[in-house]
C-alpha cells in the first residue's frame, strides 16, 4: 500500500520515514509529485490545517494521505505563535527569522512556559479517516542552544530532558518530541487501514 506524506519539508519527511517503517507500506511525499499544488493553510487551528491538507492532497493524488500541522504555543504570548508558527515572522520567513522574533517578543519576560503540538490527519480520496496528536511541554530559552534540528528546536527546552531539541540527536528527540508522539499514535490508525485493505 502507498501512503502519501503531504509535505515538501525534507526534515519532516525524514523524521516520518524513520518512525513509520511498516511492512507493506510504501511511503511517498509531495517531493515525488512536481506538479502538486500548495495547500493554503487558512484554518484557525492546527487540526483544521492538517485535515485540509490531507483531504486536498488525497483528492489530487488519489492516494491514502497523511498530513500534519504543528504549532508552538507560548503561554506568555497567549498561545502565539500557535497556528502561525511556520510563518510567525512573515509569509517568506525562514526558521531563524521566526526564532529571532520569538526571542525578541520574550526579551523581558520571565514566564517562558511553552508546548509543541502536532496533529496528524489521515484521509483517502473519499473521506477523512481520523486524526491523532502529540504534545511535549517545555520552555523557551533566552538564546539559541544547539545546532541540530530545524524550526524552533534551538530555543525550545524540553521539560523531560532539560535540553533544547537543538542539543539532542535525532533518535533522542524522536522519543519525546511532539511529532514522534503523534507518529506513534498514528501507527495503530494506519495499521487498521492496512488490515482493512
Q: Which residues are catalytic?
A: 69
CA distances in angstroms from 120 to 55, 97, 113, listed in the order given: 12, 26, 24
Burial-class residue 172 by CB neighbours within 10 Å (0-12, 13-18, 19+): middle
Element (H, E) at 13: helix 10-19
b (16+ CB within 10 A) / e for 74-100: beebeebbbbebbebbeeeeebeebbe
C-alpha–C-alpha distance, residues 190 and 150, integer Å:
26
Amino acid at each position: 500500500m502507498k501512503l502519501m506524506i503531504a509535505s515538501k519539508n525534507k526534515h519532516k519527511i525524514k523524521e516520518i520515514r524513520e518512525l513509520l517503517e511498516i511492512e507493506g507500506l510504501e511511503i511517498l511525499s509531495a517531493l515525488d509529485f512536481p506538479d502538486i499544488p500548495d495547500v493554503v493553510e487558512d484554518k484557525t487551528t492546527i487540526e483544521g490545517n492538517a485535515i485540509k491538507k490531507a483531504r486536498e492532497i488525497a483528492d489530487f493524488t488519489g492516494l491514502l494521505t497523511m498530513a500534519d500541522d504543528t504549532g508552538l504555543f507560548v503561554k506568555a504570548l497567549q498561545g502565539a505563535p500557535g497556528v502561525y508558527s511556520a510563518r510567525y515572522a512573515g509569509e517568506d520567513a525562514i526558521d531563524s527569522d521566526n526564532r529571532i522574533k520569538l526571542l525578541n517578543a520574550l526579551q523581558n519576560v520571565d514566564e517562558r512556559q511553552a508546548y509543541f503540538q502536532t496533529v496528524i490527519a489521515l484521509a483517502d480520496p473519499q473521506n477523512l479517516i481520523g486524526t491523532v496528536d502529540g504534545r511535549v511541554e517545555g520552555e523557551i530559552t533566552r538564546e539559541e542552544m544547539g545546532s541540530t534540528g530545524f524550526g524552533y528546536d534551538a530555543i525550545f527546552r524540553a521539560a523531560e530532558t532539560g535540553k533544547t531539541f537543538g542539543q539532542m540527536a535525532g533518535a533522542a528527540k524522536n522519543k519525546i518530541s511532539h511529532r514522534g508522539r503523534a507518529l506513534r499514535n498514528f501507527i495503530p490508525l494506519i495499521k487498521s487501514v492496512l488490515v482493512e485493505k
